[in-house]
Amino acid sequence: MKRSFIILCASVLIVACNKQIDEIRPLVKIDQEGELSSVAGIVEATYGNYSLLRDNNIRDMAYEQAWSNISESRGNNVTLRTFGPVDRTSDAFFYRNSTGSSLGFSSAFYRGSYQLIVSVNTVLEGIEKMQQSGWQSLSAEERNKVIYAKGENIFLRAFAYFNLVRVYGKPYYQNNGNNPAVPLKKTSAVSDIPAPSTVKELYDFVISELKTSAQLMKVPVTKSNSFISTSAAWSLLSRAYLYMGGSVTDPVQAFNEEAVAYADSVINHTGSKYALLLGNAYVNMFANDEFGDLDRAQFANNKEIVFAFDNNTGTSYNGIMYNYDGNYNIGAAFVPSMDLKQQITAQDLRSNFYRINPANGITETTKYLVLFFQGLSRAPHIFFRMGEIYLNRAEAFAKTGNFAMARNDLRTIHTRAGLPASDIDNLNDQDLLSAILKERRLELAFEDHAGYDYFRNGLPMTRLAADNNGTALIIQPDDPKVVFEIPNN
């Protein structure tokens, strides 16, 4: 993906008493009379907004590493390689949820999220101005580029808010979404200081934005899977409706039907553009590629990936989270939990997504082990892939009582992993949903779903003593620690 040097840096200061955004201002101003007054400038600025999905070192604003740390470490798929005093890396793992920038990743994630949002708002304002003046002078091709860029930016903003509400808002089913979450800022103006919105207001906004972006990106512009597309918008709509779909004991029919519909759109209404990888192709999608022999960093031809961030022109800090570099004695703060490893049989093709590191003899995941050097990785950060889409549909089918279709989708993922269909065919209908959630755990491990799949379903997250320094941990879905406080610095 082409990288932009046009990056907006948003400074987000928080007033502790009311948790409002006090100030958001661009550090480097993109001039709507300059850069954003041309089609090329809008496209370039949009590339810059993509780049904000990856970590940067501007005033401790981050996204990828902070997001993955917060998301994955609050589940039971990982444990710490070395236990010791709580630090920034282990803060979320221990559910301390610190608000200070040096104590955990919440502050970096919050700042990075609003940096992305303000930058998107700036570009969208430039696009709106262009559409109001000078639009008729553009060629059809130029208009399509601008319309597509508008869809990309609207998606990025919706994606940022969806992830924010997952971290800072209670699960949707609690209080019908009427619990407080984060401010919904729709402009780039420093004077625009919104109060926190409710969980429901944020979900409503995200859903509306995604539907708009999906339509805009239907213009004839062709891009690879390292860019957002209509299919990516449908994928996130499926995920968002699944999160709105109620708990295991009290599902919401209408939302689960929507989750099914949008998952089906990706699976059955995109021609042959996407497909589940099978056999060796599936194994090689996440197998050890430390030295680049599998060419995992190049993923444009990977039909399972709907949208991933391309780290081939840079590096990802997720490598340092999951893999140890013996030459520099760094990395692998998180290793697969004993509980997770016990769920993976030798027959399961997903056993190929783990290796024993020869430098220390510890089992690691290979999902981010791509051109690994000094704790950094060139593995694509996969945000949406077909494995999840099938499991979204399976879960939503089960919650609507369509057990036959749920069973079909679960069987597809289970047998794709080399496991017998009889495991699924012999299940009672009432056991299907728990089997689907288990399959999600095995299939999507280390892909930022861990804790959320428990809490959004009204289920406790249970971490065994062997994975929690000798003391078992149970976090109930209504535990206050499920929700982070808005950072205060």
pLDDT in tens, 2-59: 333 333 333 333 333 333 344 444 434 455 556 798 999 999 999 999 999 986 555 4
Q: Which tokens belong to 162? A: 């969806």
Total structural domains in the chain? 1
Would residue 410 count as lying in a domain?
A: yes
Would residue 442 count as lying in a domain?
A: yes
pLDDT of 319: 93
DSSP state, residue 90: T
CA distance 185 to 92: 26
Percent of the chain predicted with pLDDT > 70: 91
CA distance 189 to 199: 23
CA distance 196 to 435: 37
Residue 9: what residue type? C
Question: What phi, psi does 196 have (nearest 5°)?
Answer: -60, 135
Average pLDDT over residues 161-186: 98
The pLDDT mean for the chain works out to 92
pLDDT of 62: 73
**pLDDT of 353 above 50:** yes
What does each C-alpha distance from 27 to 8, 58, 117, 139, 185 come to in angstroms?
6, 10, 14, 33, 18
What does each C-alpha distance from 388 to 46, 276, 466 come to in angstroms?
27, 10, 29
Would residue 389 count as lying in a domain?
A: yes
CA distance 465 to 6: 48
Would residue 401 count as lying in a domain?
A: yes
pLDDT of 54: 87
Task: Decide if 248 contacts 433 (C-beta within 8 A).
Answer: yes
pLDDT in tens, 287-304: 999 999 999 999 999 999
pTM exceeds cut of 0.85: yes
pLDDT in tens, 115-161: 999 999 999 999 999 999 999 999 999 999 999 999 999 999 999 99
CA distance 313 to 297: 9
Would residue 393 count as lying in a domain?
A: yes
**Residues whose CB is less than 8 angstroms from the CB of residue 83 and which lie 6 or more positions away in sequence, other chains included:** 469
H/E stretch holding 383 reads: strand 381-385
The domain of 399 spans: 385-482
Angle at 51 between CA 50 and CA 55, to 5 degrees: 130
Q: At 399, which CATH number?
A: 1.25.40.900
| Cα end-to-end distance, the chain, whole Å | 33
Angle at 439 between CA 433 and CA 442, to 5 degrees: 150
pLDDT in tens, 219-256: 999 999 999 999 999 999 999 999 999 999 999 999 99
pLDDT of 33: 57
Would residue 390 count as lying in a domain?
A: yes
Would residue 44 count as lying in a domain?
A: no
Residue 430: what residue type? Q
Measured N-to-C along each axis, helices 106-132 and 39-51 cross at an angle, to the nearest 10 degrees, of 170
Q: Return the exposure string of 10-43: e unless at least 16 CB atoms fall within 10 Å of the residue's CB, then b.
A: bbbebeeeebebeebebeeebebeebbeebebbb
Would residue 169 count as lying in a domain?
A: no
pLDDT in tens, 62-87: 799 999 999 999 999 999 999 999 99
pLDDT of 125: 97
pLDDT of 101: 86
pLDDT of 488: 76
Kindly compute the dihedral angle of the four CA atoms of residues 457, 239, 487, 478, in this order, to the nearest 10 degrees: -10
pLDDT in tens, 363-417: 999 999 999 999 999 999 999 999 999 999 999 999 999 999 999 999 999 999 9
Task: Decide if 286 contacts 292 (C-beta within 8 A).
Answer: no
